[in-house]
Amino acid sequence: MNRFEQLKKLEHPQIWDILIIGGGANGLGTAVDAGSRGFKTILLEAVDFAKGTSSRSTKLVHGGVRYLEQGNLSLVIEALMERGLLAKNASHLVKNQSFVIPNYTWWGGYFYTIGLKIYDLLAGKLSLGNSTYLSKEKTIELLPTIVKKGLKSGVLYHDGQFDDARLAINLAQTAIEKGACVINHIKVIDLLKDNSSQIIGVVAQDQQTMQTFEIKAKTIINATGVFTNSIMKMNDKVYKKYIVPSQGIHLVFDKSFLPSNSALMIPKTSDGRVLFAVPWHDKIVVGTTDTLVKKSELEPIALEDEVDFVLETAQRFLTKKPARADVLSVFAGLRPLAAPEEKGQSTKEVSRSHKIIVSETGLITITGGKWTTYRKIAEDIVNKAIKTHGLPNYKCVTEHLAIHGNKKNSVADFENHLFVYGTDRIAILQLQENEPELNEKLHPNYNYTLAEVVWAIREEMATTVEDVLARRVRLLFLDARAAIASADTVARLLAKELEHDEGWIQNQLSEFKTVANGYLLKEFRVL
């Protein structure tokens, strides 16, 4: 996975079968699907893989207990099926995670046990384990810091848990292995149309050299998530809002606030939403919220009200009460909601059930969906492309396609932090052996080594400090201060590997600090 090699493929003009704009879950899934069917496929990502919503999820591979409660059975069944497939196809990244719902009413235990038994049944053969009713004592044993006053019982159930940005990198690797051309830091700035206004390609600009390319394709897929409106503006030539963004935030705390292998699930918060506290890379991720915001931004910032809400809810349920100073990182993600068609209509959530729009120009746009269902979404998109653009009817092969890093029939050692690399772990250890100076830790409090940084640069297309610290080793999401402290080391390794000068290093450090400040609560931001 080498950016230079991928860019070289643009030197020879050709007509691609499928061109995908956007390297999030939906775009990357489509590149894997199209590439593995045998289509000549290219994906262009403006910043980095999973830079958008796809690195900012709650990290769950789930059927969606909430949708079961809403009676949306078809969505739950589809997601449970995809959960099971992903747990097999990316077994190095998807953990079987137990969740405990604490009940403070006499009926809650029975109500949620019955509901979750249905959840298990719907998963069928792909179930991750049986849901069970828990006594008060067992609930406390599994969640030692849960508030005990008024606690009546608990319910345990299973879902999947993963590392979203790492899966995105693995999908990019898989797509390349299947023959696709996949490039990051290249932005689509215009669409090319023929005399009958049919879309025939894009103009893309390399964000590092500013070189522009005209790239032609039979089918163009718009998979830009909350940035859909800007591509639609290029397509329609008039501004119409297709989606409006709604923000969800997460706070990250030390594991001591919930020292357990089980996650906490609060089925109804004071605003009627679900709140999770999930163990992730030896920390606890707590979220999320649902707040309409005005703009789709690459770096959305958590609002004070959202931070207060998540903190207060966590404080209500945990005996070790997290305070603002305990927040190691705060990250915000945006879900696309369908914009109201007329004034006065309400916004409608489309983020979980995906929607494919085919414009008169031939542009195919995908909005919504869940990370969990990205494979099915991709299958639907490529099927639509075949149907609407006369491509050969190659069959989808991703149902049992191993994702890069997966080792069939093996159980990952989730205790070792290198587990996220799957089969690449051996090569990283080899790198440490061959270049012993890379054994050094990136930060004294974390197990990440310099070898992982160099691996990200050489093998995973990381070209900026943020690519490395946000989406390859995830330190920015786990502990923003530690990430800022590690930035200089990362910048110097990047400069050495990619032959940049001191000016470039200083520029990168300043850009990274600006981004990283958004992951700190306001009183802890660094100048």
Ligand X SMILES: Cc1cc2nc3c(=O)[nH]c(=O)nc-3n(C[C@H](O)[C@H](O)[C@H](O)COP(=O)(O)OP(=O)(O)OC[C@H]3O[C@@H](n4cnc5c(N)ncnc54)[C@H](O)[C@@H]3O)c2cc1C
DSSP states along 420-479 = GGGGGHHHHHHHHHHSGGGGSBSSTTS--BHHHHHHHHHHS---SHHIIIIIIS-HHHH-
Per-residue contact string for residues 334-373; x = within reach of ligand X by CB under 6 A: xx---------------------------------xxxx-
Position 166 contacts ligand X (CB under 6 A) = no
Least separation, in Å, of the C-beta of 479 and ligand X?
20
116 and 155 Cβ atoms separated by less than 8 Å: yes
d(CA 389, CA 235): 17
Residue of the chain from 1, 19, 31, 60 that contacts ligand X (CB under 6 A): 60
CB nearer to ligand X: give 315 or 353.
Answer: 353
Least separation, in Å, of the C-beta of 169 and ligand X?
13
Position 223 contacts ligand X (CB under 6 A) = yes
Position 23 contacts ligand X (CB under 6 A) = yes
Position 41 contacts ligand X (CB under 6 A) = no
244 and 297 Cβ atoms separated by less than 8 Å: no
- Backbone phi, psi, residue 522, to 5°: -55, -35
Alpha-helical runs (H) found in 90-211: 108-123, 136-142, 164-177
Window contacting ligand X (CB under 6 A); options: 58-66, 93-101, 118-126, 409-417: 58-66
d(CA 86, CA 130): 19
Tokens 């496929």 correspond to 41
Local structure of 519: helix, strand or coil? coil
Per-residue contact string for residues 182-201; x = within reach of ligand X by CB under 6 A: -----xx-------------
Q: Which of residues 247-286 bind ligand X (CB under 6 A)?
A: 248
Per-residue contact string for residues 482-521; x = within reach of ligand X by CB under 6 A: ----------------------------------------
CB nearer to ligand X: give 25 or 428.
Answer: 25
Tokens 């006499």 correspond to 106
Helical pair 425-434 and 450-459, crossing angle rounded to 10 deg: 110
Least separation, in Å, of the C-beta of 525 and ligand X?
22
Position 26 contacts ligand X (CB under 6 A) = yes
Position 57 contacts ligand X (CB under 6 A) = yes
Least separation, in Å, of the C-beta of 464 and ligand X?
13
Position 59 contacts ligand X (CB under 6 A) = yes
Position 21 contacts ligand X (CB under 6 A) = yes
Residue of the chain from 1, 18, 19, 25 that contacts ligand X (CB under 6 A): 25
Window contacting ligand X (CB under 6 A); options: 59-67, 315-323, 428-436, 514-522: 59-67
- If phi over 0 gives left and psi between -120 and 50 gives alpha, with beta otherwise, what is residue 98? beta
Helical pair 25-37 and 164-177, crossing angle rounded to 10 deg: 20
Residue of the chain from 113, 153, 224, 262 that contacts ligand X (CB under 6 A): 224
Please choose, from the candidates 58, 261, 255, 266, the residue with its C-alpha nearest in 3D space to the C-alpha of residue 154: 266
H or E segment and range at residue 130: none
Here the tokens at position 289 are 């919220």
H or E segment and range at residue 158: strand 153-161
Q: What angle do CA 394, 399, 403 make, to 5 degrees?
A: 105
Rg (the chain; Cα; Å): 23
CB nearer to ligand X: give 37 or 59.
Answer: 59
Least separation, in Å, of the C-beta of 102 and ligand X?
20
Q: Please count the residues of this chain forming the interface with ligand X, following the rule CB under 6 A.
A: 37
Least separation, in Å, of the C-beta of 436 and ligand X?
36
Least separation, in Å, of the C-beta of 260 and ligand X?
19
**Which residues in 181-208 are b (16+ Cβ under 10 Å) and which e?**
bbbbbbbbeebebeeeeebbbbebbbbe
CB nearer to ligand X: give 285 or 396.
Answer: 285
Position 53 contacts ligand X (CB under 6 A) = yes
CB nearer to ligand X: give 188 or 244.
Answer: 188
Rule CB under 6 A: which residues touch ligand X? 21-27, 44-47, 51-54, 56-60, 62, 187-188, 223-227, 248, 288, 333-335, 369-372
